[in-house]
Every structure is written in C-alpha cells, then in structure tokens.
Amino acid sequence: MLNEAGAKAHSKSAIEAMDLGDEEDFASMFEASIKEEKGGNIVEGVIVADKEEDNSVLVDVGKKQEGILRRDEILDENGELLFNVGDKITVMITGYRNERPGLSYKKALRTKKVEEFVNSYDEEGEPVILEGKVIGKNKGGFIVESSDGIEIFLPKSQAYLKDTKSTIGKKVQLQIIKVDKEAKSIVGSRKVLIEADRAKKKEIIDALLASEEPKEGVIKKITSYGMFVDVGGVDGLVHYSEISYKGPVNPSKLYEEGEIVPVKAIKYDEAKRHLSLSIKAATPNPWDDLREQLEVGDAVKVQVSNIEPYGAFVDLGNDVEGFLHVSEISWDKNIKHPKDYLEVDEEIDVEIVEMDFEKQKLRVSLKNILPKPFDEFKSKHRNGDVVTGKVTTITDFGAFVRIDSVEGLLHNEDVSWDRSVKARDLLKEGDEVEVKIVRIDHDNEKISLSKKDLEESPIEKFAKTHKNNDIVKATVRDIKDFGVFVQLEDGVDALIRHEDLGEKKADELENGEELEAAISFIDTEKGRIRLSVKRVARIKEKEALNAYNDDSKSTLGDIIKDQLK
C-alpha cells in the first residue's frame, strides 16, 4: 500500500498526466484551426476597441480571439470611420503574430466581390470588358485591380505591356477570357481587345482608301506639322502640305480643335500603322479652272499673303497661291529684304511669268509691269554726258555708281590716270561722285563710266609741250611680241614697235634701259603715243643738213653782198 505521501504523489502525477494530455489535444486542435484560418478564411467579427494612436482596431472574431485590423482600412474619403466599436464587420484572417490573428477588411471585400463575379460569370454570354489599374506583377504577368475592386490576372502573353517601373499604376482596359470558379481566379487579356480594335480600324481604313467620296472628320489635335482628324473611329494625319492647294500652311490659323472638315484617305503605312489624310484632295482642284482662265504674260491683281527673305507668296484667290521671288520685286538689284517693298495683305498687280500645272506652281513678277529703269535712263542720257551718282558697291575691279534708278560700272582703269590708284583708294560706299558716261550698251543693258575722263590726261599735258619728231628720252618698261612699252617724263607711256627700233633688237633690251626716240604721233583722244628709234637718225641728219645749208647760204650771201659793193 502506498503511504499518504506516496498516495498524494501518485495522485498528482496522474492529474499532471491527464492535464498534459488535455493540453496536447488542445494544441493540436488550435494548430489545426490556425492552418485552416491561415488559408484566408473570411469571418464575421465585432469591433471591440479603437486604438487610433496605433492605427488599429481590435475585432472579436470568436474563439476568444481578438484580431488586429489596420484602422486606415475602414476610413472613408474624408478620413471618417466606416465602422465603430460594437459594429459587426466582415474581415479576412491574413495570418497570426504571437497567436493574435491579423485581419483585413479590404481583402475580405475584394474576395467577396470576386466570389460574386465568379458565381455570376457566364462563359456563353457577352464578353465582359473591364477597366482597371495595374497594382502588381509576378513572373507570369501583372495583377490588375478593376474599378470595382476585383483582382484580375493579366498574363504577359496577353498584356501588350512593357515590364517597366511606369507599368505599375497604368490604367488599362481588358476582356475576361477565363474564370476558374473553384480557384476563384479571373484571367484577362488586353491582346484580344487591341487586335480586335486593329482589325476593326483596318476594315475602316480599307474602306476609306477604296472610297472616291470625301468623308467628314473631326479635328482632334492641331500641331505645327498638321492636324490629327478622327474619321469614323480612326485617327489620321492631315499634313500641313495637304490642307490647301496654296501649299504648306499653318493649320492653327485656319482651324480649331473639334471642327468638322472634309477629308480623303491618300495613304496607309502598314508598318507604322499611320493613316495619311488630305483636305485638299477632298475639295475641287482650282488649278483645273486656272488652265482656261490664265496664261503666261497675263497681268492679275493679287494679295500678299506671306513675306520671306527670299520672296513673297501672293494669293490669287480660289485657294491658288503664286510665288514672287525677291529678284522679281523691283529692278533694283540691291534689295535687302522684300518687306522693305511689300506688306502682308497688300494688293498689288503682277505679271504671270511661269505656270506649272503638273507641280501646281505659279511664279509672278512685279517688276515686269513697272517702268524699266534702263529704258528711262537711255531716253535721257547719251555717251559723253557728265552726271553725278552715288557709290553703291566697291569691288576689287572697280565701283558701282547709281545714277537715277540704274547702276553703272566705274572700272579701276577709269578711276584715275595713275594706274596704281584703284576705286577703293579714292571712294567709299555712299560717296557722291561726278562721272562721265563713256558707253551705254543697249543690248546687255550695261553702262560704263569714267572719272579720269573729267580730268586732263597726262598725254594731253604732254601734247602741250611736245610735237611730232621731237626727240625724247624713254625708259624701257615692258617688252612685248609686238613692241616695247616705254615711259616718258611725267609718267607718260608710249609704244615703240619692233620695226621702229632700227638697228636695236627687242631681245637685246632690258627693263630700265634708256633709249633715245622720236615722236611719231600723239593721239590725245585715244591716249596713245608712238615713238621711233630709227627715225632719230633721219631727224638728226636733216637737222645737220639744215644747219649746214643755213651756214652755206649765209656765206654765199655775204660774198654776193661784197661783190655788189
């Protein structure tokens, strides 16, 4: 028999053994319930406490458990609680921490909505199209949350989305392609919608390209290079060159977004999926009427529509525009900019100088209907006239001088009798200068001027003190095939031809060598002096003979006088 102490010990051991067994049973039961609830069970609970400072509320979910729910999950748009202490609430058990369940109101709500959607989905019914936002991604694709809170799996093969940072948060539209009612999963596709939309647009585009009739479109967007126009659900570009028969125009000056315009499809780029539209192709071509109305040489009244540095565009009306090149604005060749002569919206008369119906280009001239300055000049001036003009341009070969409305050339050779002096040495642009008209070329419409002709030439000065047969000293300056150029006093040049060199040979002479020569003739009008070396001997002989004869006559006279006495 056991004594009392032993009995008590035996009794205690039995109780402990019994309690241990009970604990083991309870633990296994509790573990089983955790495993079950960790699977995402949705339960009804009651809010028992609001811990605003911890951003949490405690919810009694039964089994003597109080779960933790994030407080911000049950706030409305204004930050007010949707549920208060004592209110019933449906939540999802998301897991356990220190044996306390974690709860989510939003996940329970989404799960409930998914169940409702899955249960109501009819595979044989109309396609279901939803809009949503990409909220996550995994190896297989993306997670999209619809506008009513349903999570949908979007496989990469059905997404038509690039896996970038900007993809999260992107709004998308998709069609439901698969629903698993047992797994409560929903699969969507953007690909189905996109390809269906492309097929529909291609059908519309093919019809537009095949149609000869213009269609009405709505301007959706205006850019610097054209307008995007919606035609029957398809967007196309009307390039700024396809708006008007005038040529490229600024669309923002003619149209507004939302305006209805007639268009015609002219091209479709399959690779870029780019539809080109034309407004001018949808309207009558004014060039067809122009063939019968105008021809080259006609004078017409036009309106200046645009001015550029290289010319001006002029409006002939009926959506036809011509080009007035800067060289056709005035007879003045020194136009700096057309705006100095023309203003936008100004009406002017012009002559049509070219019409290209194939390229639909038209060129006009303003100067052709203006009096020709050269005709006016030649009617008032003659060769030899002395006039005053203004220097407009200095060049390496001379200066251009404006006289009335035309320009004449003052060549360097005609600036001064001094050959070393050039136009730029004496003149500058803007100077007034007196010149002589030496030649008016009627065929080429050119005018030659001279400044030196107004001054006494060195040859004229030379002619005042010299005459034919005078013997002078000449310095060889240049030897040519036809003769030798020499320099006389005061820098005057003269020519000795080879046949006038006498016994001297040209190839024996050197520049700088001094010769004695006689003046053959002096032509002051043409500015020429001819010399002869071989004439020197004849002149000296004649002078000697004359001197001898004078001496002989004097002696004979004296003898006769003496005899008479």
What CATH number is attached to the domain comprising 394?
2.40.50.140
| Co-location of 469 and 510 in the same domain | yes
| Co-location of 436 and 472 in the same domain | no
Residue 275 is encoded by which pair of tokens? 């539809």
Say what the pLDDT of residue 409 is: 95
| Co-location of 40 and 112 in the same domain | yes
- Dist. CA 218–CA 263, nearest whole Å: 10
- On the question of pLDDT at 564 being above 60, the answer is no
DSSP 356: E
Say what the pLDDT of residue 2 is: 34
- On the question of pLDDT at 24 being above 70, the answer is no
pLDDT in tens, 359-385: 888 999 999 998 888 888 988 999 999
Helices of type H across 466-517: none
**From 55-59, 264-268, 400-404, 526-530, the region with the lowest mean pLDDT:** 526-530
- On the question of pLDDT at 6 being above 50, the answer is no
Contact criterion met (CB below 8 Å) for 59 and 91? yes
Residue range 219-228: mean pLDDT, rounded: 94
pLDDT in tens, 39-69: 478 899 999 999 989 899 999 998 777 999 9
Say what the pLDDT of residue 291 is: 82
Question: Which residue range(s) make up the domain with 392?
Answer: 373-454
| Co-location of 103 and 70 in the same domain | yes
What burial class does residue 531 get, using C-beta atoms within 10 Å of its C-beta: 0-12 exposed, 13-18 middle, 19+ buried?
A: buried
**From 36-40, 455-459, 505-509, the region with the lowest mean pLDDT:** 36-40
Q: Is there a domain that residue 418 lies in?
A: yes
| Co-location of 50 and 115 in the same domain | yes
Residue range 486-505: mean pLDDT, rounded: 86
Contact criterion met (CB below 8 Å) for 43 and 93? yes
| Per-residue pLDDT band at 539 (split at 50, 70, 90) | confident
CA 188 to chain centre: 46
Name the nearest CA neighbour of 263 among 206, 218, 216: 216
Residue 68 is encoded by which pair of tokens? 């933790």
pLDDT in tens, 381-428: 999 999 999 999 999 999 999 998 889 999 999 998 888 899 999 999
CA dihedral for 412, 414, 415, 420, sign (positive or negative) = positive
H/E/C letters for each residue in 355-393? EECCCCEEEEECHHHCCCHHHHHHHHCCCCCEEEEEEEE
| Whole-structure pTM value | 0.46
Q: Is there a domain that residue 22 lies in?
A: no
Number of domains observed in the structure of the chain: 6
CA dihedral 532, 413, 425, 477 (to 10 degrees): -20
| Co-location of 181 and 103 in the same domain | no
In the chain, % of residues over pLDDT 90:
49
Residue 186: its H or E element: strand 185-189
Contact criterion met (CB below 8 Å) for 201 and 207? no
Say what the pLDDT of residue 537 is: 84
> Coil, strand or helix: which one is 41?
coil
Q: Is there a domain that residue 428 lies in?
A: yes
| Per-residue pLDDT band at 550 (split at 50, 70, 90) | low
pLDDT in tens, 449-476: 999 889 888 888 888 888 998 899 999 9
* Contacts for 450 with CB less than 8 Å, ≥ 6 apart: 410, 414, 435, 436, 438
CA dihedral for 463, 469, 473, 479, sign (positive or negative) = positive
Q: Is there a domain that residue 21 lies in?
A: no
Residue at token pair 């003898």? 559
Q: Give the domain-ending residue among 264, 282, 300.
A: 282
Q: Is there a domain that residue 72 lies in?
A: yes
In the chain, % of residues over pLDDT 70:
90
| Co-location of 332 and 392 in the same domain | no
> What is the overall mean pLDDT for the chain?
85
Residue 549: its H or E element: helix 534-564
Q: Is there a domain that residue 549 lies in?
A: no
Q: Is there a domain that residue 200 lies in?
A: yes
Residue range 515-519: mean pLDDT, rounded: 90
| Co-location of 386 and 359 in the same domain | no
- Dist. CA 306–CA 320, nearest whole Å: 13
pLDDT in tens, 87-138: 999 999 988 887 889 999 988 888 888 888 988 888 888 999 999 999 999 8
* Contacts for 412 with CB less than 8 Å, ≥ 6 apart: 397, 398, 422, 423
What burial class does residue 324 get, using C-beta atoms within 10 Å of its C-beta: 0-12 exposed, 13-18 middle, 19+ buried?
A: buried
| Per-residue pLDDT band at 524 (split at 50, 70, 90) | confident
Q: Give the domain-ending residue among 69, 88, 120.
A: 120
Say what the pLDDT of residue 510 is: 87
| Co-location of 159 and 214 in the same domain | no
DSSP 213: S
Q: Give the domain-ending residue among 282, 314, 348.
A: 282
Name the nearest CA neighbour of 448 among 512, 395, 506, 403: 403
| Co-location of 235 and 184 in the same domain | no
- Dist. CA 494–CA 532, nearest whole Å: 10
| Co-location of 468 and 495 in the same domain | yes
| Co-location of 136 and 60 in the same domain | no
Say what the pLDDT of residue 557 is: 54
- On the question of pLDDT at 563 being above 50, the answer is no
Residue 500 is encoded by which pair of tokens? 């006038």
Q: Is there a domain that residue 414 lies in?
A: yes
pLDDT in tens, 153-176: 999 999 999 888 889 999 999 999
